[in-house]
Amino acid sequence: RSLEEKRSAASGEAMKRTRSRAAARPAEEEDEVTSDSESPSSDGRVNDSAGSSSDSEEREDGQAGDSKRRRETPEQKRLRLAKAYLRSMEIEGGGQEGGEEESGTDEDGVTDPKPVDISERLKVEALAQRGHYQRKIADGVSLPEEGCSRLICRPMKRQGGGGFHRKSLTGVCIPGGDGTKCYSVSKCGALVGWDLDTLSRNNTFTYGARQAQRSRPSGPASTSAEPLYSVCCSDDGRTVVTGGHSGTITAWDARSGEVVKTFEKVHKAEVTGLTFQSGTQQLFSCSRDRTVKIWSLDDMAYVDTLFGHVQGCTQIDCLRKERVISVGEDRTCRLWKVQDETQLLFKGTPCSGNVDACCFVNGTTFVTGSQDSSVSLWSMFKKRPVYTVRGAHGSHGDGDGSACSTWVHSLAACANTDLVASGGGDGRVTLYRVDPEDQTASERMRAVGEVEGVEGYVNALAFNAEGTVLVAGAGQEPRLGRWDRNPSSKNALYVQRLALGGAGNDG
């Protein structure tokens, strides 16, 4: 009994001591934290134990968040990313609209930001990715009073630079992601880069391309000075591709002008058209050998050949979808559905003549130009043109010029807008507003302006992505032949600035 009494008394005293220590511990810790965070050290500096404790807490929170993300399911991850994307859109939209309109203030003086229509922005982005989004800008287009600028490519001053564009320009292109650059080719075999901001030649690229051409072997089989009929550039602006008279396709580095890859004589005739699928490195080429070929510049390899034209192809175009349109001397237009391995055939009137130009307006609408001076608007859902502009560049017999002076030699469209331009042998560049769903037939394709100051045969046209710049490649001769010559004109590049009043109306 005495032992049991001693043990119980000892345990009671221990419990009392533990309780007293636990009651005194919070007060001591509070005193320590206060003294550590507020008391200066001996050298006058304040201790930063509070900052270190906050850093450790942040690290613990980050580790906890990482472990939580590892345990989340794919559905939870998609939901988390969607919420983050919506928050970023709200912040971005609030920052953009904050300077335009003043935000409201409630009774307590708290500022409420202007609400952002996120659903509308998501709809626009989805339509743009599928190629169905269209901006209505043609009605607001106006031409500045100063007119267009003419850029003549003269011989370079560097030793061995040589002359450039001594013959007619045959192709121009503007990279989709950089509207300040432009590239042009001509019948003399020159590839020239331009700076549209300064309206001058990019000598670094041009000189590099010329040196690369001269380094090729000479002889009867040489392609160093062969005529070039087509040029295109990838959306990222890194690769420029040209097609020549011998059927050779060449890929160039857009920064240095060096040759990246040469596909020697892959076509049996001259390469008349080149185009990239938007946002990819997939290239399409057409030729007078009646074929359309597909190339992958990611692998620098040939992919496939499309057959269907019974005579030579003259032009080709493609947008974001894997759909290609091509026109040719067989007076037809073909829409190739590459993924489905099918094609749609579109025929004009029996007396329409050869079709020399084509371009996509959006994913379902395109425009063609023929040798009978007609420009036709098409929908992929109809076999006949939605509307045709007759005599767009005059008619044969109007003047003293040859018959090819009235042909439609070039077309260009500002992608996913309603703005289209056509160029002919009379030196005229006409701007059109297109709307295939308009109830009035004459309003489906209506002229909204004309660029003045261009001389000679307008063999190539190109818009920048915003539709504020139009470039035209002109020369003394037609693009694909020497049926006529206009000695009074210059082989030059013309740059026209466009003012888009009221641009941005969505369709």
Query: What DSSP letter does each residue of 8-50 carry, written as one string?
Result: HHHHHHHHHHHHHHHHHHHHHHHHHHHHHHHSB-TTSPBP-HH
The single-letter DSSP state of residue 404 is: G
The proportion of the chain whose per-residue pLDDT surpasses 70, expressed as a percent, equals 73
Is pLDDT above 80 for 251?
Answer: yes
Q: What type of residue sits at position 371?
A: Q
Distance CA 186, CA 198 (A): 22
Three-class DSSP category at 80: helix
Distance CA 502, CA 233 (A): 30
In 406-468 the beta strands, taken as DSSP E runs, fall at: 408-413, 419-424, 429-434, 445-451, 457-463
> What's the mean per-residue pLDDT of the chain?
80
Q: Which of 67-71, 343-347, 480-484 has the highest mean pLDDT?
A: 343-347
Nearest to 210, CA basis, from 225, 222, 227, 195 = 225
pLDDT value, residue 453: 87
Distance CA 133, CA 114 (A): 26
pLDDT value, residue 99: 43
pLDDT value, residue 214: 79
Tens of pLDDT along 330-376? 999 999 999 999 999 998 776 678 899 999 998 889 999 998 889 99
pLDDT value, residue 50: 47
Question: Biggest alpha carbon distance in the chain?
Answer: 138
pLDDT value, residue 62: 57
Query: The tokens of 446 are what?
Result: 């209506």
pLDDT value, residue 400: 56
User: What is the SS3 string spanning 251-286?
Assistant: EEECCCCCEEEEECCCCCCCEEEEEECCCCCEEEEE
Tens of pLDDT along 100-120? 444 444 444 444 444 446 777
Average pLDDT over residues 437-445: 89
Pick the more confident residue, 92 or 487: 487
Distance CA 122, CA 440 (A): 32
Distance CA 372, CA 383 (A): 20
State CA 73 to chain mean position distance.
Answer: 36
Is pLDDT above 70 for 188?
Answer: yes
Query: The tokens of 248 are what?
Result: 């050779």
Opening angle at CA 417, ends 414 and 422, nearest 5: 45
Is pLDDT above 60 for 194?
Answer: yes
pLDDT value, residue 241: 95
pLDDT value, residue 44: 46
Three-class DSSP category at 240: strand
pLDDT value, residue 153: 72
Average pLDDT over residues 84-99: 63
pLDDT value, residue 97: 45
Average pLDDT over residues 259-269: 92
Nearest to 411, CA basis, from 448, 381, 367, 444 = 367
Is pLDDT above 70 for 395?
Answer: yes
E strand or H helix at 118:
helix 118-130
Strand partners of residue 261 = 251
pLDDT value, residue 81: 84
Query: The tokens of 271 are what?
Result: 């390469």
Global pTM reads: 0.75
Pick the more confident residue, 127 or 439: 439
Opening angle at CA 424, ends 192 and 354, nearest 5: 105
Distance CA 239, CA 235 (A): 9
Tell me how long the chain is.
507
pLDDT value, residue 32: 43
Distance CA 303, CA 308 (A): 17
Q: What type of residue sits at position 194?
A: W
pLDDT value, residue 21: 62
Instruction: Decide if 373 contacts 425 (C-beta within 8 A).
Output: no
Per-residue burial over 360-397, b if 16 or more Cβ lie within 10 Å, else e, is: bbbbbbbbbbbbbbbbbbbbeeeeebbbbbeebbbebe
The proportion of the chain whose per-residue pLDDT surpasses 90, expressed as a percent, equals 39
Three-class DSSP category at 390: coil
Work out the burial of residue 427: count CB atoms within 10 Å of its CB; fewer than 13 is exposed, 13-18 middle, 19 or more buried.
buried
pLDDT value, residue 415: 86
Measured N-to-C along each axis, helices 118-130 and 74-98 cross at an angle, to the nearest 10 degrees, of: 110
Tens of pLDDT along 199-245? 888 888 888 888 888 777 654 444 457 899 999 999 888 999 999 99
Which residues are CB-contacts of 127 (< 8 A; sequence separation ≥ 6)?
Answer: 133
Is pLDDT above 80 for 398?
Answer: no
pLDDT value, residue 129: 64
Is pLDDT above 80 for 42?
Answer: no
Distance CA 62, CA 68 (A): 10
Pick the more confident residue, 131 or 133: 133
Tens of pLDDT along 450-476? 998 898 999 999 999 889 999 999 999
Tens of pLDDT along 269-316? 999 999 999 889 999 999 999 999 999 999 999 999 999 999 999 999
pLDDT value, residue 484: 87
pLDDT value, residue 213: 80
Distance CA 95, CA 68 (A): 32
Distance CA 19, CA 25 (A): 10
Instruction: Decide if 294 contacts 283 (C-beta within 8 A).
Output: yes
